[in-house]
């Protein structure tokens, strides 16, 4: 198993182990702890898998920290939409459902726009292959996190 796969597998196991048993049982404090733990582990995972030189690291990490701060804002908007949905689950009206869909898609649009806006700053810090590797790692971590998040979201009834 490659180092990247091994670390992603460990992260995935950690996420599942740290997730509260039921979607309705999670309180805000434990979700905040989980989010912060994932963010910390994400940075470590990126660090291990990029193997940056000292010069690359000096240029990359400040850009990465700004990127993560902006990505966190977008992620928090997504969590708010999910919380809104969970609060009304079972009684969601058609109008509320439509607003949730619109809000969700706006967040996805903003996430993509943010990633696009950081290609150049990251490209100034990293050679092309490492830039590509970073975006691949970012995509894999995002997929794991989104999978875990999706598991806690009930599907609306017909």
pLDDT for the residue 128: 97
Residue ranges making up the domain that contains 59? 3-151
Residue 40 within any structural domain of the chain: yes
Residue 158 within any structural domain of the chain: no
pLDDT at residue 134 greater than cutoff 90: yes
Residue 13 within any structural domain of the chain: yes
pLDDT for the residue 92: 87
pLDDT for the residue 39: 67
CB-count exposure of residue 64 (10 Å: 0-12, 13-18, 19+): buried
Residue 76 within any structural domain of the chain: yes
Q: Rounded to an integer, what distance in angstroms lies between the CA atom of residue 66 and that of residue 135? A: 16
pLDDT in tens, 68-119: 999 999 999 999 999 888 888 888 889 999 999 999 999 999 999 999 999 9
> What's the pTM value of the predicted model, to 2 decimals?
0.76
Residue 90: DSSP 8-state:
T
Apex CA 131: angle with CA 125 and CA 132, to 5°?
175
Residue 98 within any structural domain of the chain: yes
Residue 99 within any structural domain of the chain: yes
Residue 157 within any structural domain of the chain: no
- Total domain count, the chain: 1
């Amino acid at each position: 198993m490659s180092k990247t796969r091994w670390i992603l597998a460990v992260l995935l196991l950690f996420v599942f182990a740290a997730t509260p048993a039921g979607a309705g049982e999670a309180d805000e404090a434990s979700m905040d702890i989980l989010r912060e733990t994932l963010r910390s582990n994400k940075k470590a995972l990126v660090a291990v898998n990029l193997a940056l030189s000292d010069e690359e690291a000096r240029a990359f990490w400040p850009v990465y920290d700004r990127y993560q701060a902006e990505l966190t804002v977008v992620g928090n908007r997504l969590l708010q939409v999910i919380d809104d949905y969970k609060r009304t689950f079972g009684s969601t009206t058609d109008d509320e459902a439509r607003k949730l869909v619109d809000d969700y898609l706006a967040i996805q649009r903003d996430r993509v726009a943010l990633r696009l806006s950081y290609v150049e700053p990251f490209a100034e810090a990293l050679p092309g292959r490492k830039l590509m590797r970073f975006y691949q790692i970012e995509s894999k971590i995002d997929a794991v996190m989104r999978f875990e998040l999706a598991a806690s979201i009930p599907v609306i009834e017909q």
